[in-house]
Structure 1
């Protein structure tokens, strides 16, 4: 097989390997997946794979970065550009269903849950690069809204977890049950309801 020479060709091969790795991890679990099978699934040699990634752990870290960073960057930009908490939550309820339905983040979550006890360092990387960053964004949003007098929130760090929890729950649900028609959830309706309830509960003068 010819070696990729251009940056574009190298990026294509790296993308192919990451796609194959996610498929392999999702089907077999991270612990059981083998580098040779990832390479075979991508239509490349094992030697070519090692030119890009020296271990399964390195591939998984690259998957975390590739799959989550663009979405989290978008969320952060949206939160910073919003002029009110209501505007932020409106953006969030449009953003969340897209992440769950149209990206591979739910599949990544399923792999992590399956092997979390075996590779804690990988789970920590996921928590720091995705979960903690999202919680930090939402905590900052809530603090800003509280300071502006839009809402009353005594514990913004904990409240941020209530904001994020349905996204994580829905991602896991999507990864586990997306092939079962009777398990389908109207995500748009779910997140409309979620944001409406949050805004009502957090409005100024109603700390309950």
Structure 2
């Protein structure tokens, strides 16, 4: 659907230009901000340069986001992964290995492959010490549920006799490790020493399941 066909929230008539701008402009600002923060870091990034990328004034950016700090925080929130759709109950009729593989593939996509989510993770590593509340939020909304899901799946597999008892049930962070390595490799070394990220993740899953099954 083209922007001209976007409907009014009531569904009665198409949105006018000004109404569309009200919806689209903050998104455009945040996308430009993500590029600028990733390129220069929080402290060196300039709001006027972000505004220029969108074709607006610095004052317009501040109309939507009061401070540079709030702009950074909203950029992180907007492009952080959302795995809410992957939190359904464990399916008793599907093998745990299949469910765990599917979940980890989605998780790895969010950390190491999705361009925006990957850059958010990198920004949290490089700038997070200055924004501890954002680290806490990212952990609470993304990492903690992911770790809980992995633990539940492994525990379920052990209870069913599909997986052997292992320390991974109490250290699920190990299963996220390859995605973090792939993320950092892609950000730091992609231009000079490219690697097949999908192959890294596939090999990691194979090694993990060897340990869980043998």
Q: What are the equivalent positions in structure 2 for 1:19-168 lying under 5 Å apart?
A: 19-70=31-82, 72-76=83-87, 80=90, 83-92=94-103, 94-95=105-106, 98-99=109-110, 100-151=112-163, 152-154=165-167, 156-158=169-171, 160-168=172-180
Matched with 1:197 is: 207
Structure of higher CA gyration radius: 2
Which ranges of structure 1 fall in alignment gaps of 5 or more residues?
none
**Aligned partners of 1:118, 1:47: CA distance in 2, in Å?**
25
Correspondent of 2:196 among 168, 186, 195: 186
Q: CA RMSD in A?
A: 2.7
Residue-by-residue CA offset, 1:133-189 (whole Å, 9 max, x unaligned): 32222122222222222212345231x111111111111111112222xx2122222
Q: Structure 1 pair 162/154, CA: closer, same or farther in 2 (3 Å)?
A: closer
Give the 4+ runs in structure 1 shifted more than 4 A: 79-82
Q: Structure 1 pair 55/136, CA: closer, same or farther in 2 (3 Å)?
A: farther
On the 8 A contact 1:97/1:188 being kept in 2, the answer is no
Which ranges of structure 2 fall in alignment gaps of 5 or more residues?
1-16
- With normalisation by structure 2, the TM-score equals 0.77
Shift of 1:69: 3.5
**Aligned partners of 1:155, 1:86: CA distance in 2, in Å?**
14
On the 8 A contact 1:61/1:125 being kept in 2, the answer is no
**Aligned partners of 2:38, 2:162: CA distance in 1, in Å?**
43
Moved more, 45-54 or 97-106: 97-106
**Aligned partners of 1:162, 1:14: CA distance in 2, in Å?**
37
Q: Structure 1 pair 127/185, CA: closer, same or farther in 2 (3 Å)?
A: same
